[in-house]
Structure 1
Amino acid sequence: MTEFGKSLGIQETSIPGLLILDLPVHGDSRGWFKENWQREKMRAAGLPDFGPVQNNISFNDEIGVTRGIHAEPWDKFVSVASGKIFGAWVDLREGESFGSVFTAEIDASTAVFVPRGVANSYQTLEADTAYVYLVNDHWSPDAEYTFVNLADETIGIQWPIPLENALLSEKDQAHPRLDAVVPMRPKKTLVLGANGQLGLALRKVMPEADFATREEFDVTTHSAYVSFPWRQYDTVINASAFTAVDAAETPEGRASAWKTNVTAVGWLAKACTENRITLVHISSDYVFDGSATLPYREDEPLSPLGVYGQTKAAADALVETVPQHFVLRTSWVIGEGDNFVRTMASLAERGIKPSVVNDQVGRLTFTQDLAAAIQHLLATRPAYGVYNLSNEGPASSWADIASQVYELLGHHSGDVTGVTTAEYFAGKEGIAPRPLNSMLDLSKIISTGLSPASWQERLQQYLSS
């Protein structure tokens, strides 16, 4: 008999991610009513916002109907509209919990959230039982399914009605034992811009991810998004961008910057939204004009000066439409490949005494720390949104950093002469405006448990390696 008077509540089970929900059911002599699915209340109670797109009902008119143990490549929200079932769930995902079992009796006052890769089965305990489930992907004959045998001795499910007395399909009886089951693989991470400075750093810390170069996935071609197998991924890291800030001021460069940094990001944001993918996007200090006297917080109004900054600001707005997104706003990136530190090191070794800008201040961001921040956000899942990320340390000018490079390499720091931005670019055409203050406030990301190393420490390590 359906239990009345419960309060909405969620309980964890012995299988990670498998949740039992108590549903409030209101009834009298005429029958009963319940809110079987209520997104706002259930999200507030702790249910994942899994985005159902299809509703299915399985009706069973006899006691003892037993459905096979099937794991599907989507999440399910299971409940009973009438009758009662004995439910059994087996974890068939790769990992330590593979083979774990949970069982429970379910009536109209209970629901179950079943994450992707956890196999679901049930046995009817009453006649005229209707089993209802929401799923967050449309059924496809090409989807990846995993099964285990109802009678497997390893999982040892104690069916209330012995299987020899139950109603089973021949297909379900033919499923493999647990030792022959191929575990369902987790969804993957895709990194776009695989050969850039950040992409190369991510290769070292995320070897299991898929890395796509511009040749393998041309972000500026719409057809690439239409034909791509998005269902295989739960995270996309967009490390691809047009970053030639001066070239962006030319007619051709302006068009390329907008296509790569805005149009392509719009396509990517749409694909991630439609496929419930977490999008990690890299932003820039250039979204600000640099006129502030304090480090920029994440919620400061955007005020880009040049074309590059304008495209990055527009991209930020697009990415923030994706329900699950992290925007990492960074500055002065240093990694493998051509960059300011390598240029200064080369000049020092050749005995050149450069003039370097001394009125733009900020902090370096080493790609190993940017990659670590991405890992951290994806692992800990703080609130989605924008996070500043640079290395810690004092505000320094480009000239200050160049002087340290010279000194650390055994050269005289006085070989570097500081000049203003105006002096440095005097007489040059097509130069993009630069923010004079690129300092980013790091308190938000530090509050999530990540404390970046100082840029001085990373600079020394970088030069010694």
Structure 2
Amino acid sequence: MSVGPSVATTPIPGLLVLRLPVHGDSRGWVKENWQHARMTALGLPDFGPVQNNVSFNATRGVTRGIHAEPWDKLVSVASGRVYAAWVDLRAGSSFGTTFAIEVGPDTAVFVPRGVGNSYQALVDGTVYIYLVNDHYVPGGSYPALNLADETVAISWPIPLAEAEVSDKDRSSPRLSGVQPMEPRKVLILGAQGQLGRALTALYPTATSLDRGQLDLTNGAAVRAIPWHDYDVVVNCAAYTTVDEAETIAGRRIAWEVNAAAPAVLARTAAEHRLTIVHYSSDYVFDGRQLGGGYSEDDPVAPLGVYGQTKAAGDFAVATAPRHYILRTSWLVGDGNNFVRTLQRLAREGASPQVIDDQVGRLTFSDELARATQHLLTSGAPYGTYNVTNSGTPRSWSEYARRVFTQVGRSPDDITPISTEEYYVDKDGVAPRPRFSVLSLAKLTASGWVPTDADQALDAYLAKKPAR
């Protein structure tokens, strides 16, 4: 019976040893060096190799020294044997951790970005091959460690004094002089909005850009971004003026920002193996759902241009292999919004009319930002997720009454009014979904515990508004 491949972990996080079946007879042998379906099922990352390199080592003792390249690689031996050693040169608690084994044709090793790797040929004519998931660019710099570093103390089978080592490798610094490789960064687009500000607070080391700094319709500008520095791009940019989207000028901008720009990002994410996070809206539905809230699998049926453009953006982003589409509703965050407006009106003594036939849940920007972080770090499957605060769905007027109560006004100072009555004398009004409740079952199944919207509202009102 044929025994399949197996994967074992090592002391270095992400460094995996793959044992490969080698099938031989009088003619020689054959093996599956990289078999996507089987190996990813075993836990090997789907790292998307784009280049295959071969290293021929003419004589026993050739030692190639400890380099931490800015890409992932899968290394295996085609002929001969090597003594292989790895040192974690990534920033973090595992910096300096080592692992070494002898490698022959029956072994492959997955080496994550930033882990220094070195190979010493044990016989003449040794050949090893490696798949990498980025193209080699001459002149690039990355961390390297001296082969003789006393801190890691690698036990080379062939003493380095007798080995064939390049002058460059002999001059590499000791561990104390190595600049650790930092992890790839997060890029936040649309960083000046309510959600963008919440995400920037959660990811203080992220690169944050607004539309004025990156025009996604400019191909040259998009290509000029150093995408290899990033592993996640978060798209908070959106055109959300739903009534203006119904005008000739607004319709064009809405399609450009909400549909065309996400399509560019999706193509870029696929090309550079990025994870893309994109935010959608309850407006992709017509609001005529009966029973429970909308699930992620319900068909979209937008009523107006804004919802149509958001749905188109969802379809585009879903083409990226690594994507999270977060559908949300009734966003409240740092800046002007429904809650702050009602809070101000309450303090000014106004008694406003507020719509009572549109029902949904508030979503606070810090809740949406933390849910984003949860999906990115928990290993949740890629796809679409509904994200709002939890609790009892309410109408806009019910939330308004709660705001007035918390400010010290009577809730009876809020006059409920229908959507038709509210907009009776207004022109160019976009249709709104009457039912905007989104089911949170898929998100909670991933391990997320949402915050009740009423509790979040009370906490939000207790904070001083941003100026």
Q: Give the alignment's TM-score, normalised by structure 1.
A: 0.98
Residue identity opposite 1:282 in structure 2: Y
Please state if 1:74 is matched with 2:98: no
C-alpha displacement at 1:45, in angstroms? Answer: 1.2
Please state if 1:122 is matched with 2:119: yes
**Contact map agreement 2:215 2:222 (CA 8 A) in 1:** no
Residue identity opposite 1:397 in structure 2: S
C-alpha displacement at 1:43, in angstroms? Answer: 1.0
Paired position in structure 2 for 1:27: 24
Residue identity opposite 2:402 in structure 1: Q
1:327 counterpart (322, 325, 328) = 325
Please state if 1:454 is matched with 2:452: yes
Please state if 1:17 is matched with 2:9: no
2:438 counterpart (437, 440, 443) = 440
Question: What CA distance in whole angstroms lies between the structure 2 residues aligned with 1:248 and 1:268?
Answer: 22
Question: What CA distance in whole angstroms lies between the structure 2 residues aligned with 1:5 and 1:441?
Answer: 46
Question: What CA distance in whole angstroms lies between the structure 2 residues aligned with 1:136 and 1:85?
Answer: 23
Secondary structure of the corresponding residue to residue 126 of structure 1: coil
Question: What CA distance in whole angstroms lies between the structure 1 residues aligned with 2:448 and 2:301?
Answer: 28
C-alpha displacement at 1:55, in angstroms? Answer: 0.4
2:258 counterpart (261, 264, 273) = 261
Secondary structure of the corresponding residue to residue 251 of structure 2: helix
Query: Number of aligned pairs?
Result: 462
1:231-283 CA distance string (max 9 Å, x none): 11000110110000000000000000000011111111111110111001111
What is the root-mean-square deviation of aligned Cα atoms in Å? 1.1
C-alpha displacement at 1:421, in angstroms? Answer: 0.8
Structure 1 unpaired stretches of 5+: none
Paired position in structure 1 for 2:223: 226
1:296-344 CA distance string (max 9 Å, x none): 0011011111000000101111111111111110000000111111111
Residue identity opposite 1:315 in structure 2: G
2:135 counterpart (124, 132, 138) = 138
Structure 2 unpaired stretches of 5+: none
Moved more, 181-190 or 36-45: 36-45
2:421 counterpart (398, 423, 436) = 423
Please state if 1:406 is matched with 2:404: yes
Secondary structure of the corresponding residue to residue 342 of structure 2: helix
Paired position in structure 1 for 2:383: 385
C-alpha displacement at 1:61, in angstroms? Answer: 2.1
2:357 counterpart (351, 356, 359) = 359
1:47-98 CA distance string (max 9 Å, x none): 1010101000011121111111111000010000111110000100000110
Secondary structure of the corresponding residue to residue 283 of structure 2: helix
| Identity across matched positions, percent | 54
**Contact map agreement 1:152 1:177 (CA 8 A) in 2:** yes
Secondary structure of the corresponding residue to residue 144 of structure 2: strand
Please state if 1:60 is matched with 2:57: yes
Residue identity opposite 1:168 in structure 2: V
Paired position in structure 1 for 2:347: 349
1:307 counterpart (295, 305, 308) = 305
2:246 counterpart (241, 244, 249) = 249
**Contact map agreement 2:40 2:46 (CA 8 A) in 1:** yes
Secondary structure of the corresponding residue to residue 341 of structure 1: helix
Residue identity opposite 1:35 in structure 2: E
Secondary structure of the corresponding residue to residue 204 of structure 2: coil
Paired position in structure 2 for 1:371: 369
**Contact map agreement 1:73 1:144 (CA 8 A) in 2:** no
C-alpha displacement at 1:427, in angstroms? Answer: 2.8
**Contact map agreement 1:149 1:177 (CA 8 A) in 2:** yes
Please state if 1:166 is matched with 2:175: no
**Contact map agreement 1:9 1:21 (CA 8 A) in 2:** yes
Question: What CA distance in whole angstroms lies between the structure 1 residues aligned with 2:57 and 2:388?
Answer: 59
